[in-house]
Every structure is written in C-alpha cells, then in structure tokens.
Amino acid sequence: MNHPHPDLGLPPQLQDKTLRIVALGGLGEVGRNMTVFEYQGQLLIVDCGVLFPEENQPGVDLILPDFSYIRDRLKDVVAVFLTHGHEDHISALGYLLREREDIPVIGSALTLAFSKGKLKERRISPISIEVREGQTRKVGPFDLEFIAVNHSIPDALAVVIKTPAGVVLHTGDFKMDQLPLDGRTTDLARFASLGASGVDLFMVDSTNADIPGFTTSEREIMPVLDRVIGGTKRRVIVASFASHVHRIQQVIDIAFTHGRKVAFVGRSMVRNMSLAGEMGYLHIPPNTLIDIDEIDDAGDNIVLVCTGSQGEPLAALSRMANGDHRIKVGQGDTVILASSLIPGNENSVYRVINELTRFGAKVVHKGNALVHVSGHAAAGELLYCYNVVKPKNVMPVHGEWRHMRANAELAISTGVKRSNTVVVDNGVVVDLADGKAHVVGAVPVGYVYVDGQSIGDITEASLKDRRILGEEGFISVIVVIDSQTGKIVAGPDIHARGFAEDLALFEEVKGRIERALAGAVAGGINGTHQLSQVVRKTVGSWVGEEHRRRPMIVPVVIEV
C-alpha cells in the first residue's frame, strides 16, 4: 500500500498526557466513519461504518475502513461507541468484531438494536452496553458523557471524551431541528455548559457546512407528502433509507389518514421497522400494516415503503425499475424518493428514475418537490454551536473536502484561530496536549473492498483492470513457437470480447505480430515471457494507432 501522505512521516511515540486521534475513514468522504482515540496505550473507537461504491468501482459491494492501524492492537481496544444507527456509522462493526468479538459496543437503545440486527446475520453476539443522554461511563482511561442530538434517525448521541489531555466534544451526525417529530432536540444547553467549562477539541459534522442558513424541519415535508399521497389514485411507493424512522412514521401517518394500507418491502426495511415498532420508536395505527403477501388484496389502496433510494442495484426499488421484482410498477403509480442523493450515486438514481418513468410511474424526488430534508446542520446552526461551545481547537469530520474546509472557515469566523483548526485526511495523526491540537504524522490507510466473500483482496490495480475490461474490452493472442528455431508453428490466434466482433479486423495485425516475433528472436530474445511482452506491445501499438482504444491485452506464447 502506498503511503497516502508522503510529506508526513510516521508519528512519534505517544507522550504522557497526550490524546492521539486517527480517523480510519469518514474524512474527505461521506461514509466509512471510524475514528480511533488513544490514551495511555488504550484505544477507544467512535463509529464503524461502511462507504457505498461508486460507478468507477465495478463489482464492489461495500468499502470498509482500514483496520490495519489497529489490527495488532485489538487487545487494547476498550470499547466501540456508536453515535447512531445509520449504515455509514455501524455497518462495518461485524467485520471488526470478527477479528475480536468481545470488544464492548456502547450505544443508545435503537442504535444497538439496529447493529445487533445486522450482527445476527453474521452470527455475532456482541457485548452491548446501552446508554442514553445525560449518562456518563468510564471505559479504560476515557470518561464518556452522552448528549442528545437531533438527526434523521431517533436516539442519536454526541459524545464527550474526557482524559487528562483535555475535553473532546464529538457531535456525531446532528442538526438543530426545533420541532422534531419525537420532541427530542439537540441539547444546546449542555453544549453551552461544556463550553463554559472548556472544550479543548470540537469535532463537528461538516456535511452541510457549505449550505447557508438553517436546515428545514422534518415537519415541513408533511404537507407535501400528504398532497402527493392524497392526490394519487393508484399505488404509492416510497423509497427511503431503512433506518429513517421519522420519515417512515410520517408516511404511515399520512397513509392512515387517507385510508391506505402500508407494507414494508426489503429485508433491511422489514427488520429495522419491526425493531423500531417493538421498541416504541415507530407507531403504527391498528389495521394499517399488512404483509407483503397481502398486497395484491389491497389493490391500489396501498403505500409500499421500500429500500433503494440511492439506486443500489440489489435494493427493492432498483429491482422494480429493472422489472425483476414481484411488484410491477405501472401506469398511474407514484414513486417518492424520500432521501437526498449521496455523492457518487447520482447516475444510479437517475437511471432508476428514468426506468420507473418509462413504465408510466410519476416519480417525485427532492429535485421537484420538498419530500426530503437533511439530517445535518447547515452553516447557521454550526455558527450557533461554535458561539456557545467556544472551542480552543476544531477538527471538522464527516464530509468531503469542500464540506470540511467550509466548516473550518465557519469556526474561524467565530474567533477560532486558523492555526487551531485541523482539517485533515484519513490516516493523519492528530495529538491533543496542553490545550493544542497539532498534526504529528500519518499512518497508511486505504480502501478495503468487499466483493462477495472476498474482503480486502481487491486492489486498485484489479479495479483498474475491471474498468478497462468494462470500457475497452480485451484481446487475447495465442502464438505457438518452435523452441529450437523460434519460428511460429501455429497462430497468431486472436480472440476479442467487447472490442470488435469482426475477426477480419485482426488480419492486419497478425502480420505485425509475426514480423515482431521474428525480429525479436533474431535479436536474441527468447523465453515465453519476453516474447509475450513483444506481442503485447505490438498489439497495443496497433490498437492505439488505428482505433484509439486501450483494451486489456492478454498474450500467450507457447513453446513446443
């Protein structure tokens, strides 16, 4: 693995009364959140999530944080704290616990329930420690305090991490909705009291830092959803994240007022909503919820709540768009995409919208109606937080570089010294000591790709090969030569896929290959590997000159 920060060396040995912070994912990207805190040789992990692949990562199912930094020190991990139950914060936990299953997992009731549901599929039974806002807990040398924050999922928590090195406040994902559906607002009073006593490092959600003003309240989308669902004669299909309990609660309430039945579609949706209902986070009116096997009996008078709002190929909505789901979308149906677009998913989502529209459905999404509001604080809310917390140092987290830079500028505008804002990439090591956070080095971190049962075996080189195969095709060339004379006794036999179907096209290059091999042998080159490279170079030059293409070339030279 190449070192991602050649200008930074490895960090020095950790000093006394110094807290070390290393993000293994989540910086410069939206997803894969995982941060390691180290004090006195003990490690605390905050979040352990996944990143979903982009189109230039063909065949990849998930992308994990890189555990290599802590792999030899798993015995030193005192706990994993999960800020909330979204996939980009909890879904890599199973891969971590597979390496050491007895790491205690701390989180709120719903967060633990969602993570346990995923871990059960992997036959992992975690050691769970349930906490709620207002509580404190000591794990190893870390004194933790949990603070209520409002987000697009219930039970989200910020965390205060106290050590003799200083006080860190990590917001997790949050916003400041003043009229949340569950009445649970971000505890700004506690933020302010922490600020009064002194916060040495404020680690702040950056996702909406470049959006001015305040994030719209979740309640604001209710009239729009009501109008869309009430004005539809046929079926309504709502695609949402399987963890967005507040959004799904609104859909259920509106369906009930219009006398519609509701069915959950998709394994993760059914599992999460069942858990949320059992725990009292989701309230379903009597005789409203039906099983997927009963949807035909409900006819058009139904709202289907499914996964696939990001165009994920195996999710329910994508399969409906492809026509290979038991639910067939047709003329007069309305599909609501009740979520934002995660960067990198745009093409997949627009493809799904186009296919559903082709089937005759009306597709309502964030671009044409207020059917989604963000779960992240915009610039106005962040400014408010900086003014009440008054941190000595700021480290923007959770977001792409444009988000983190914007977040740092907000902090600076409220009086935080520019030298005290730390905007860093994954793997960069930040030490907090004597009231100052500073970069002391970097450790190698990379992408860990999950491809079916393969974890970490896919490299950037193999992804490059996949992209070439997908975009340019491949050409194989088989030549048999006499081991004594070096003369061609069979071939060149050329096969191509995804390049050109007309085999006559290759007649021209066969002569080039024969001449190149004869010249190589005459010049003293022998051995199948060297001669294979001659074939590769010859075919590559011809393809580049004549066709402006760069397919994968697989030469095979056999000696007899």
Q: What is the CATH number of the domain that holds 507?
A: 3.10.20.580
Q: Are residues 359 and 423 in the same domain?
A: no
Q: Are residues 383 and 243 in the same domain?
A: no
DSSP string, 66-103: -THHHHTTGGGEEEEE-S---HHHHTTHHHHHTT-TT-
For the ranges 18-27, 89-98, 186-195, 451-460, the lowest mean pLDDT is seen at 451-460
Q: Which residues have CB under 8 Å from 354's CB, separation 6+?
A: none
369 occurs within a structural domain: no
Whether 305 shows a pLDDT value over 80: the answer reads: yes
**Number of other residues whose CB lies within 10 A of the CB of residue 491:** 19
pLDDT at 201: 98
Whether 32 shows a pLDDT value over 70: the answer reads: yes
pLDDT in tens, 241-281: 888 899 999 999 999 999 999 999 988 899 999 999 999 99
Q: Which residue has the higher pLDDT, 456 or 252?
A: 252
Secondary structure E strands in 369-447: 393-397, 428-433, 436-442
Q: How confident is the model at residue 160 (pLDDT cuts 50, 70, 90)?
A: very high
Whether 545 shows a pLDDT value over 60: the answer reads: yes
Q: Are residues 317 and 359 in the same domain?
A: yes
Residue 544, amino acid: G
**At which of 429, 455, 481 does a domain end?**
455
Whether 213 shows a pLDDT value over 80: the answer reads: yes
Percent of the chain with pLDDT over 90: 53
Q: Are residues 418 and 436 in the same domain?
A: yes
Nearest partner of 252 among 182, 303, 181, 306, judged by Cα = 303
DSSP count for the chain of H helices, then E strands: 16, 25
Percent of the chain with pLDDT over 70: 85
Whether 188 shows a pLDDT value over 90: the answer reads: yes
Whether 512 shows a pLDDT value over 90: the answer reads: no
**Mean pLDDT on 488-500:** 69
90 occurs within a structural domain: yes
Cα–Cα distance, 109 to 59 (Å, whole number)? 35
Return the CATH number at 35: 3.60.15.10
DSSP string, 192-208: HHHHHH--SEEEEE-TB
**Mean pLDDT on 194-221:** 95
10 occurs within a structural domain: no
Whether 76 shows a pLDDT value over 90: the answer reads: yes
Nearest partner of 433 among 3, 15, 13, judged by Cα = 15
Contact 421, 412 (CB under 8 A): yes
308 occurs within a structural domain: yes
Q: Are residues 348 and 239 in the same domain?
A: yes
**Mean pLDDT on 275-289:** 93
pLDDT at 457: 54
Return the CATH number at 252: 3.40.50.10710
Contact 276, 110 (CB under 8 A): yes
What are the beta bridge partners of residue 43? 38, 77
Whether 331 shows a pLDDT value over 80: the answer reads: yes
Q: Would you call 47 helix, strand, or coil by DSSP?
A: coil
Q: Are residues 290 and 357 in the same domain?
A: yes
The listed range with the strongest mean pLDDT (63-72, 522-531, 544-553) is 63-72
Contact 168, 161 (CB under 8 A): yes
Q: Are residues 35 and 158 in the same domain?
A: yes
299 occurs within a structural domain: yes
Q: Are residues 277 and 424 in the same domain?
A: no
13 occurs within a structural domain: no
Q: Which residues have CB under 8 Å from 345's CB, separation 6+?
A: 52, 54, 310, 311
Cα–Cα distance, 149 to 171 (Å, whole number)? 8
5 occurs within a structural domain: no
Whether 424 shows a pLDDT value over 70: the answer reads: yes
The total number of residues shown for the chain amounts to: 560
**At which of 339, 364, 389 does a domain end?**
364
Q: How confident is the model at residue 477 (pLDDT cuts 50, 70, 90)?
A: confident
pLDDT in tens, 345-386: 677 788 888 989 988 999 998 878 887 888 999 999 999 999
Burial of 2 (0-12, 13-18, 19+ CB in 10 A): exposed
**Mean pLDDT on 307-336:** 84
Cα–Cα distance, 4 to 1 (Å, whole number)? 9
Q: Are residues 49 and 144 in the same domain?
A: yes
Whether 69 shows a pLDDT value over 90: the answer reads: yes
For the ranges 116-120, 319-323, 499-503, the lowest mean pLDDT is seen at 499-503
pLDDT at 522: 67
Domain hosting residue 333, numbered range: 218-364
Number of domains in the chain: 3
Whether 441 shows a pLDDT value over 80: the answer reads: yes
**Mean pLDDT on 141-166:** 96
**At which of 338, 364, 390 does a domain end?**
364
**Mean pLDDT on 530-546:** 75
Q: Give this prediction's pTM.
A: 0.80
Whether 416 shows a pLDDT value over 70: the answer reads: yes
Q: Are residues 87 and 162 in the same domain?
A: yes
11 occurs within a structural domain: no
**Mean pLDDT on 161-179:** 96
Nearest partner of 65 among 85, 20, 97, 95, judged by Cα = 95
**Mean pLDDT on 427-432:** 96
Q: Are residues 226 and 189 in the same domain?
A: no
pLDDT at 2: 41
Q: Are residues 520 and 474 in the same domain?
A: yes
Does residue 492 have a cis bond before it (omega within 30 degrees)? yes
Three-point CA angle 532, 534, 540, nearest 5°: 100
Q: How confident is the model at residue 3 (pLDDT cuts 50, 70, 90)?
A: very low
